[in-house]
Structure 1
Amino acid sequence: MIIFPNRDAVIKNIQKNVANKEYNKKVEIDDPQMTTKESINRINEYFRKRATPIGKVKNLCARAIYRGVTWVENRHTEVVGLENLTALDRKKGAIITTNHFNPLENTVIRRFMNKAKLHKRLFIISQDTNLAMKGLVGFLMNNYDIIPLSKSINYLGQTFPKILKKIINDGNYVLIYPEEEMWFNYRKPRPLKRGTYFYAAKINAPIISCFVELKDLPSFEPNTNDTIHRVKAIVHVLPVIFPDPNKSAKENSLRMMEQDYNQKKEAYEKAYGKKLTYDFEPEDIAGWVGPNADKK
């Protein structure tokens, strides 16, 4: 998995947020910042460029890069629970949810889709600030199949659900992280935010519920001074969650969110053999050689 700098500071932020019971709060440092107006301007420019011939070429390039990265990063990745997709209508798309622990964890989901023979495009919901990133990551954020998320009420209430509905109705898949912020290599499923499930209910989209288990490998990530082991991902595919046509969007969103959290919680407890609590322990960060741990 890709390793950004400042992991020690990020892990300290995770510890602080856990102590404060703020499980959806940002922990990364030096992320780009922008106002709502800047966000909408950048998002409009993003979609304008994507519709141009050069934008379409760049999209093909970005997708090719992701296919290569998916192969390189997931040679050890396992997928279990594919039998839970039996009830899924493969002619229609779906929303995929999983725990949010690494910038390239979406390649783990791409690996799962390949194993499940879900041969459609995977779109990823990403914060608007990621469009301001530089270098290769910035190129991918601006040219891959990204759906940016803004704090604009009008965008969230009008534009965003229309984009989501079209993608789903075209038979494609959308990866959304209901934990919101990425917590580096954090093993535990965190409390979920309701927005994902409200949109799913509004557009009548099923939820493919996933939980990614992380196992430490003997080797270390480069440029981490032997403090971060590489990790192996195991994708647990959980029962698909469908909206109830007899319930309102609000009722469905609450029910679907609760079911998704409970499934992820149960998957965590089975995978790691212990009850889920939010007391911080060094092993909560996969691969991390904590302050009192011996290097493997």
Structure 2
Amino acid sequence: MIEKDKGRLEVLARIEEYEKKGWWSKDVEEDPPTIPLTPDKVDYLNKKLKNKIATLFVNIVAIHFIKKLVKTGQMIIKDIKGIENYEAIKDSGAVLTCNHFNPFDNFAIHYALFPYLYYKNGRALYKVIREGNYTNFPGLYGFFFRHCNTLPLSANFSTMKNFMAAMKVLLERGEKVLVYAEQGMWWNYRKPRPLTVGAFKFSVESNVPVLPIFITMNDSDKIGGDGFPIQEYTLHFLPAIYPDPNKSAKENMEMLRDKNYAAWKEVYETTYGIPLSYSCENSENN
């Protein structure tokens, strides 16, 4: 019998603590201090030829890597529901939101969208990531992080100005951008967490829909190297939510956030057959 990984047990204990305290967007992983990202270190739109070539190479490798994960049972896709909701907006720029519970949960979304991306129409799935994930990793791992259509956030004002400009270009040309509106990753956490309103700013500013995705999971009969059951994922693609032209930007951001959360909540309660509740007594969503 494989002993449960001590680090994962500590993370689960922090998740329990943070839920009680309502620290919804706080990261439970012990990541190293972030190296600041300056404007000269990121080419958001791949304007440089060397970055275009690197991105093409990394995407080809990533496709094979994701398919291998599924083939070997290291990532289990049990079902994909509601893909017609993606098809309804496949020709439009869109902000995709998903619950964040695993470093590779975006791989599951990639797998579901392979028929619509890359060689099919030249599109890619862009991902908004934290600054440290872009700057902290050296070597080959860092190379892949930096060239897999990632859009790093930054504490640097000039870098964020470039980020926002690039986001607008991507959405208006029809790209799909995955945003983790919960922010911090909570490992194998099954509940939807209250969402940050800023994630919906991209949708409002570019007047594109938000497509909520919620991944539910159940234990498989396979035990991973960390001593915990490998999860079986069911991906739920939900109906797109559109900004209201009669509302202000602030009102739209709040409306999109609330509708996104409500859609996730309904999937959670329907799938698991229990009402959504938190141990946090002062949660406004409790």
Residue matched to 1:261: 261
Tell me, yes or no, if structure 1 residue 140 matches structure 2 residue 144: yes
Identity of aligned residues (%): 29
Deviation at 1:168, TM superposition (A): 1.4
Paired with 1:25 and 1:71, the residues of 2 have a C-alpha distance of 31
Deviation at 1:50, TM superposition (A): 4.9
**Residue of structure 1 in register with 2:63 after alignment:** 67
- Are 2:206 and 1:194 aligned? no
Please point out which of 41, 45, 58 is paired with 1:45.
41
In the alignment, which residue of structure 1 is the partner of 2:30?
A: 29
More relative contact order in 1 or in 2 (CA 8 Å, sep 6+)?
A: 2
Aligned-partner Cα distance in 2 for 1:256–1:68: 35
One-letter amino acid matched to 2:61: I
Q: Distance in 2 between matches of 1:153 and 1:142?
A: 20
Q: Does 1:271 align with 2:274?
A: no
Aligned to 2:166: 163
Give distance in 1, aligned partners of 2:228 and 2:7. 12
2:144 partner letter: L
133-142 or 63-72, larger mean C-alpha shift: 133-142
CA distance in 2, matches of 1:121, 1:26: 27
Closer, same or farther: CA 8–204 of 1 in aligned 2, 3 Å: same
In structure 2, the partner of 1:91 is 91
DSSP 3-state at the match of 2:43: helix
Residues 44 and 163, structure 2, Cα contact 8 Å, conserved in 1: no
For normalisation by structure 2, the TM-score amounts to 0.85
Structure 1, unmatched stretches of 5+, are: 281-296
1:125 aligns with 2:121: no
Q: Distance in 1 between matches of 2:275 and 2:159?
A: 39
In structure 1, which of residues 51, 57, 75 is the aligned counterpart of residue 53 of structure 2?
57
How many aligned positions are there? 268
Write out per-residue CA displacement over residues 167-192 of structure 1, whole angstroms, 9 at most, x where no aligned residue: 11222110000000111111111000
Mean CA deviation greater in 188-197 or 58-67:
58-67
Match of 1:100, SS? coil
1:4-40 deviations in whole A, cap 9, x for unaligned?
A: 9821222222122112111110111133423xxx32x
Question: Structure 1 residue 51: deviation in Å?
Answer: 4.1
Q: Report Cα offsets for 1:206-230 as digits up to 9, x if no partner.
A: 11111001111111112x2xx2111
CA contact (8 A) 1:18 1:279 kept: yes
Aligned in 2, Cα 1:53/1:152: closer, same or farther, shift over 3 Å? closer
State the AA in 2 paired with 1:189: P
Structure 1 residues 172, 74: closer, same or farther in 2, change over 3 A?
A: farther
> Are 1:12 and 2:13 matched, yes or no?
yes
Is the contact made by 1:216 and 1:231 (CA closer than 8 Å) also made in structure 2?
A: yes
> Residue 111 in 1 paired to residue 114 in 2?
no
**Root-mean-square deviation (Å):** 2.4
SS of the residue 1:47 aligns to:
coil
> CA distance change for structure 1 residues 91 and 5 in 2, over 3 Å: closer, same or farther?
farther
- C-alpha change, 1:245 and 1:196, in structure 2 (3 Å) is same
Cα displacement string for residues 241-296 of structure 1 (whole angstroms, at most 9, x for unaligned residues): 0111121111100101000000001101111110111239xxxxxxxxxxxxxxxx
Is this contact kept in 2: 1:178–1:192, CA < 8 A?
yes
TM-aligned CA distance change 1:137 to 1:233, over 3 Å:
farther
Contact 1:96 1:210 in 2 (8 A): yes
The offset of 1:151, in angstroms, is 2.6
Unaligned runs of at least 5 residues, structure 2: 281-286
For 2:271 and 2:33, locate their aligned partners in 1 and report how far apart those are by CA, in whole Å. 35
